[in-house]
Amino acid sequence: MIAGEQLVWQTLSEALARPPRLTVSEWAAAHRILPRETTRQHGPWRNDRVPYAAAIMDALSAHDPTQVVALMKGAQIAGTEIGLNALGYWIEHDPSSVLIVCPSIPDARKFSRRRLRPLILSTPALRQRVEEESSRDAASNTLYREYPGGAVILVGANAPGGLSGNPIRRLFFDDADSCTAEVGEEGDPLYLAEVRTTTFPNRKVYVNGTPKIEGESRIARLFLRGDQRRYFIPCPECGWMDFLTWTGYANFCDLEDGGHHRIGLQEGRPETAHCVCSGCGARISEAEKDCMLAAGEWRATAPGDGRTKSFHLSGLYSPHGWLSWAEVAREFLEVKNDPVALKGWVNLRLGETWRRHQDALKPQRLLARFERWEAEVPTGVGILVGAVDVQDYGLVYLVTGYGAAEESWVVEYGEIHGDPAKAEVWGELDRIRETRWKSASGRTAGIECLVVDSGGHHTHEVYEYCRARQGQRVWAIRGGNDPRSDLVSRASRKNQGGVLLWTLGVDTGKDTIHSRLKIETAGPGCIHIPQPDHEHGRWLWANAEFAAQLASEVMIRKRHPRHGWTRAWKQVRDRNEAWDLSVYCLAALRIRGPAVLRDLAARARALAEPLREGEAEASDEAVMPAAQPRGLMGSRRGWVQRW
Count of Cβ atoms closer than 10 Å to residue 615 Cβ = 11
Determine the 3-state secondary structure of 321 from DSSP: coil
Q: What residues contact residue 470 under an 8 Å CB cut-off, 6+ apart?
A: 499, 500
Please state, in angstroms and rounded to a whole number, the distance separating the CA atoms of residues 296 and 291.
9
Exposed, middle or buried by CB within 10 Å (0-12, 13-18, 19+), for 100? buried
Whose CA is closest to 462, among 414, 491, 420? 420
Q: Assess whether pLDDT exceeds 80 at residue 641.
A: no
Whose CA is closest to 586, among 573, 575, 600, 572? 600
How high is the pLDDT of residue 632?
A: 40
Residues facing 234 on adjacent strands: 241
Determine the 3-state secondary structure of 495 from DSSP: coil
Give me the helices (H) in 320-443, please: 325-335, 339-350, 363-368, 423-433
**What does each C-alpha distance from 383 to 61, 257, 411 come to in angstroms?**
59, 52, 11
Please state, in angstroms and rounded to a whole number, the distance separating the CA atoms of residues 221 and 432.
52
Please state, in angstroms and rounded to a whole number, the distance separating the CA atoms of residues 539 and 536.
9
Domain ranges of the chain: 14-209, 363-609
pLDDT digits (tens, 9 = 90+) for 264-305: 888 778 999 999 998 898 999 999 999 999 999 999 999 999
Q: How confident is the model at residue 482 (pLDDT cuts 50, 70, 90)?
A: confident
Angle 252-253-258 from CA coordinates, rounded to 5°: 175
Whose CA is closest to 245, among 262, 220, 264? 262
pLDDT digits (tens, 9 = 90+) for 381-433: 999 999 999 999 999 999 999 999 999 999 999 999 999 999 999 999 999 99
- Strongest mean pLDDT among 56-60, 212-216, 282-286, 315-319: 56-60
How high is the pLDDT of residue 361?
A: 84
Mean pLDDT of 223-227: 95
Count of Cβ atoms closer than 10 Å to residue 478 Cβ = 17
**DSSP H/E element including 9:** helix 2-17
pLDDT digits (tens, 9 = 90+) for 156-197: 988 777 777 778 999 999 999 888 766 666 678 888 899 889
pLDDT digits (tens, 9 = 90+) for 566-609: 677 888 888 999 999 999 999 999 999 999 999 999 999 999 99
User: With the C-alpha atoms ordered 637, 639, 641, 643, is the resulting torsion angle positive or negative?
Assistant: positive
Q: Assess whether pLDDT exceeds 60 at residue 640.
A: no
| Class (C level, CATH) for 363-609 | alpha beta
Count of Cβ atoms closer than 10 Å to residue 135 Cβ = 8
**DSSP H/E element including 33:** strand 33-34
400 alpha-carbon distance from chain centroid? 27
Determine the 3-state secondary structure of 451 from DSSP: strand
Q: How many helices (H) and strands (E) does the chain have?
A: 22, 29
Whose CA is closest to 385, among 643, 632, 628, 633? 628
Whose CA is closest to 213, among 557, 480, 570, 582? 557
Please state, in angstroms and rounded to a whole number, the distance separating the CA atoms of residues 249 and 179.
24
Please state, in angstroms and rounded to a whole number, the distance separating the CA atoms of residues 159 and 108.
11
Classify residue 558 as left (phi > 0), alpha (psi -120 to 50) or beta: beta
Intrachain domains 14-209 and 363-609 with the same fold? no
Range with the lowest mean pLDDT among 135-144, 225-234, 461-470? 135-144
Please state, in angstroms and rounded to a whole number, the distance separating the CA atoms of residues 3 and 431.
108
* The CATH number of domain 14-209, selected from 2.60.40.10, 3.40.50.300, 3.40.50.920, 3.40.190.10: 3.40.50.300
Please state, in angstroms and rounded to a whole number, the distance separating the CA atoms of residues 154 and 114.
13
pLDDT digits (tens, 9 = 90+) for 534-547: 988 999 999 999 99
Give strand ranges (E) for 181-228: 204-209
Instruction: Supply the DSSP string of 150-180, one letter for each residue.
Output: EEEEEEETT-HHHHSSS--SEEEE-SGGGS-
Give me the helices (H) in 297-414, please: 325-335, 339-350, 363-368
More confidently predicted of 436 and 252 = 436
Instruction: Please provide residue 500's backbone torsions phi and psi, each rounded to the nearest 5 degrees.
Output: -70, 115
Q: What residues contact residue 598 under an 8 Å CB cut-off, 6+ apart?
A: none
